[in-house]
Structure 1
Amino acid sequence: MKKSILSALTLLMVLAVPVSASAESTPTDFEVRPASTYILPEYEDYQPESTGKTYEDVAKEFGVKSQVVTNDQISEAIVVNSPEEYEALLSSLKEGFEVNGEPQIDEKLQVASPSRFTTMGTNFIVPYEKVIHDFKVYWVKAFADASVADGKITGVNGYSKLYGYQFGLSYVGQNPSISIASDKTSFIATYRGEIQLYIFFEGVGRIDSFDIFGTISEKVVSNT
């Protein structure tokens, strides 16, 4: 826990310092930051050009989809100087990656307290939220609002959103898939989305992306 807090504080200090990139290695028509901005201390001991891997090798190893784009298609980018630095970057960015597998409703989940219910017309709305991807300085949070009437869930709405420091990053979230139990007392909301990285490597702009996945599984009302 202490290590994670120290890592996050170190990154926040680095992120607060403006970076001026050299004209030799970076473009001048959009804003850039070095990959070291995001690399956690435990991955800083990489040796450039030591593995023999290519950029594409690293992307494939991490399950990252990489698309070459023209520089005018991006307005900011993370500068990567070697495949090894790219590997350290992805190791850091994906440390918070959460894979839950096939979600199952836990019947032992505590029933929502009446104090959490918000009246809306004749229904009650019970809000839930959960962080499904956490990198300490940026994170994706999922939200779900369960509508309840006459002791039964009548519907669930949800979405997910990116928070925190977002330079060189964006997030595209899909509408969650909702599964309500047959007795209408519990639900599972399954969230899928895509983190996109704007990368500048060897004079070429890239949009690299990887998928994230998470669930909110809640028993909202008692079936007794």
Structure 2
Amino acid sequence: MQVRTRHTQAFAVARLVLAPGEAVQAEYAAMVATSYGVVIDSGRGRGRARPAVFTAPAEGGWVDLAPAHAGDAHVLELDGSQGWCVARGARLALPVTLRADPGWAGFHPLFGVEHGFLEHLSGMGVTVLACGGALDAIALDPGEAITVEPAHLLAYSDTTQVRLRAVDPSGPQSLRTGDGLLLDLAGPGQVLVQTRRPRPAAGR
């Protein structure tokens, strides 16, 4: 799969160029258009907010995806040497060469058994992330640390050390949305920060 983006930074569209017979998973709601002949299997879900699998015909094809909100589309490439932790709901596409790891052990110190506001991706290939506003990419050296408000976190490489803490220990907090929490991230690692909140309260 190849990805070509257009209308970037404000109203991004990502075109997934598929080889003959290649398939990619994406939310049906993110689809703008496809080349003629692409097969769409939306399973048994109802409404637009459901996963779908797009499969190219024998001559290949393309699928255009767009975020539900204004902002950029970031192409994230995984080389198989490390995974990435991505804001839940930000992923637009998942090719068959990548996998989401819902039981990834690295989340246990953060969320315990809760369904947190992040998901872990691993494998080799490219995915597309919906970014609120523009993107800041930060490379953290060993021992270098920053603090990020969860709604502005787009992704970080899983080599990064991460800690969750409360803004106000006596105030309301949510592991599902990130409300009332802060993320401390320390290198070595890469962190992707979005300049606008794409959805309310880390928006899951």
Class of the TM-score when normalised by the shorter of the 2 chains:
under 0.3
Structure ranking higher in strand proportion: 2
With normalisation by structure 1, the TM-score equals: 0.25
